[in-house]
Every structure is written in structure tokens, then in C-alpha cells.
Structure 1
Amino acid sequence: MVLFFITMLIATLVEMRRLKTAQKYELVDKPNATVPMSVWWLVLQYVLCGLFEVFTVVVGIQDLFCNQVPKECRSCTLP
């Protein structure tokens, strides 16, 4: 949960930056306007979100399947 908190904190900081840029160019009340900001500002939060999801969700699901599924239903056996 701490990892997701860090990701949301980064997303919040990027959104604050986007809003400041929109205010600077007076684009806040124009829904069809494009804010002149690089898409690279989003890369860090999406990479972290994907990385943290792999560590939490995928590992948890694999552990669940290995512990809860009967041995007869598994496609490969664990040593």
C-alpha cells in the first residue's frame, strides 16, 4: 500500500503541474483545449503503477493459486 501511495503522490504532483500550466495559458475553462505539456510527465507514474502492481497483485494471485488449488488441478508441480 505504501508503494501505491507513492504512485498517487507522484500523480498528484503531475496534476498540480498540469493545472498550473493550464492556468498560465488560460485554458482552465476550455474543455477542448490542449494543455502545452509534454506527455513524458506521465511516464513515471504509469511505470511505477505497473511495477508496483506486478509486485502486489501478480505475486498475491500466484501465491493464492499455489496454496489453494488442489494438486490434481495444477498444470505444473512445485518441488
Structure 2
Amino acid sequence: MPYGNECKGHWVFTASCRTDYPPKVVDANLNPIIDPTEVYSGMYGRIAINFAPYNQNGKKGVGAYISTNVQKTGDGE
């Protein structure tokens, strides 16, 4: 399993956004987070994801894109 046993029985995917239009990062009260060290792997949060099909250069699939702010809801590991 490429993601570890903690992901067994769950859907795992990656999401991205355009580098020239990154999502804003806000805290639980919707205040902007300026300090990049407050956002890290293992924190708790919410995001909205859009799924969209693509067919480019002979490759077909479904992309996952961050569609709005990233909201940090709490500290994690």
C-alpha cells in the first residue's frame, strides 16, 4: 500500500491548484494565516475540492483541484 496502513479502507488522492492563483490559508475564525510555519503536514483542516475530467494529449482522467480557501481547524502531529 503506497500510503501506509492508516489509509486502508479510505480513498486517498492528491489535489493541486495553479501556482499563479494559490488558495488563501485561513484559521478556524477565517483570519488569514501569514506565518507559513503554522501550516504543516499533520494539521487538521478543511478544503473544498472540485473534480473535473480531462482529455489532453491522449491522456484521460479526473483531476482534483483545490477550489477555495484552505482552513486550518487545529494542530495535529
- Give the TM-score taking structure 2 as reference length: 0.27
The structure with the greater share of residues assigned to strand is: 2
Higher helix share: 1
Larger Cα-atom Rg: 1
TM-score normalized with structure 1 length: 0.27
